[in-house]
Amino acid sequence: MHAIKKLNLNQQLTDLDVLEIDSPSCRACIALQGAQILQYQPKHRANSVLWLSKANTGQVGKALRGGIPLCFPWFGAHPQGLQPAHGFARNQIWELQNVSYDQAQAIHHVDFILQDSPETRKIWSHAFRLKLRISCGISLNLDLQVENIGSQAFEFSFAWHSYFQVDQIRQVEIHGLQNAEFMDKLQSNQRFCEADAVTFQQETDRIYPKASGHYQIVQAGHTAIEIAAPRCASAVIWNPWQDKAKRLGDIAEGDWQHFVCVECGQIASETVRLAAGSKVDYQLQITDIPI
């Protein structure tokens, strides 16, 4: 079953359209703004795998904090500092092309498209087409195709900026980044080598330009979350901790303790140059492993 509704935030209806999905394998909620999945709850779990801020206002055009926003065509600060961070794809209303249901596997396939427009060309002059398929079943799969439909090559960086629900950030370990080099954004992008699992005792903001593409979020006594993005070279690990969460203004008091971002994409040295007429594909799979 699926239906288009208005996003309800804290008992307030917003102007944002969402696709609500319910099947024998999972429930999910996907905003047409940013083609952003906001919640994904496999039937064996009591809550969503993805965290969504309770302090979102749901203002059209303002990226919702939580779920899986797509940062495109740049990750982080704008290269010349003239545009908002993380690009514009997450702020645009995408075209919902199709919803299909695979009865045998209890999977909904949801197809979105975003193409350049006069509005996007004012921000970024290139002609592009993004196709995103979100497949909601016993695991969550995202398939992104980036196509250069213009006459000039362009460069882009991107990331799925995924927010995962955790019980208590201080008890979280991220595995899969051992021995990877990272840039510490909180130490002027100084480079370090990841010694072991990533744990959290303070604000953490690390870019791993070249990483394994396979990560696990581990919390004692809880299910593990498997993240697979084999074609994404880069990863980012982020938690704002208390002070930055307060500065951001759209994270409820104390709620910074209940999420961790494990982001997959192509960042920094792994920025992509796409020739005119070419396309490239990326995949992300998220699976909640019951213990």
In terms of CB distance, is 65 or 222 closer to ligand TA6?
A: 65
In terms of CB distance, is 21 or 64 closer to ligand TA6?
A: 64
Q: Which residues pair with 184 in a beta bridge?
A: 190, 206
In terms of CB distance, is 108 or 124 closer to ligand TA6?
A: 124
Taking the complex as a whole, how short is the minimal distance between the CB of residue 54 and ligand TA6, in angstroms?
Answer: 16
Using CA atoms of 6, 134, 26, 138 in order, give the dihedral in degrees to the nearest 10: -170
Give the N- to C-terminal CA distance of the chain in Å, as an integer. 28
In terms of CB distance, is 33 or 148 closer to ligand TA6?
A: 33
Q: Which of 108, 126, 258, 263 is catalytic?
A: 263
Phi, psi of 190 (to 5 degrees): -60, 145
118 token code pair: 């006069």
In terms of CB distance, is 19 or 207 closer to ligand TA6?
A: 207
Taking the complex as a whole, how short is the minimal distance between the CB of residue 221 and ligand TA6, in angstroms?
Answer: 27
CA distance 158 to 34: 13
Q: Which of 86, 108, 161, 258 is catalytic?
A: 161
Q: Is 175 a catalytic residue?
A: no
Cβ atoms of 231 and 282 within 8 Å: the answer is yes
Query: What are the contacts of 166-170 at 24+ separation with CB within 8 A?
Result: 166/51, 166/217, 166/219, 166/258, 166/259, 166/260, 167/219, 167/222, 167/258, 168/219, 168/257, 168/258, 169/200, 169/239, 169/256, 169/257, 169/258, 169/259, 169/260, 170/200, 170/201, 170/257
Taking the complex as a whole, how short is the minimal distance between the CB of residue 85 and ligand TA6, in angstroms?
Answer: 4
Taking the complex as a whole, how short is the minimal distance between the CB of residue 248 and ligand TA6, in angstroms?
Answer: 6
Q: Is 161 a catalytic residue?
A: yes
Taking the complex as a whole, how short is the minimal distance between the CB of residue 33 and ligand TA6, in angstroms?
Answer: 14
Q: Which residues are near ligand TA6 by CB under 6 A?
A: 63, 76, 85-86, 161, 185, 205, 236, 238, 248, 261, 263
List the catalytic residues: 161, 263
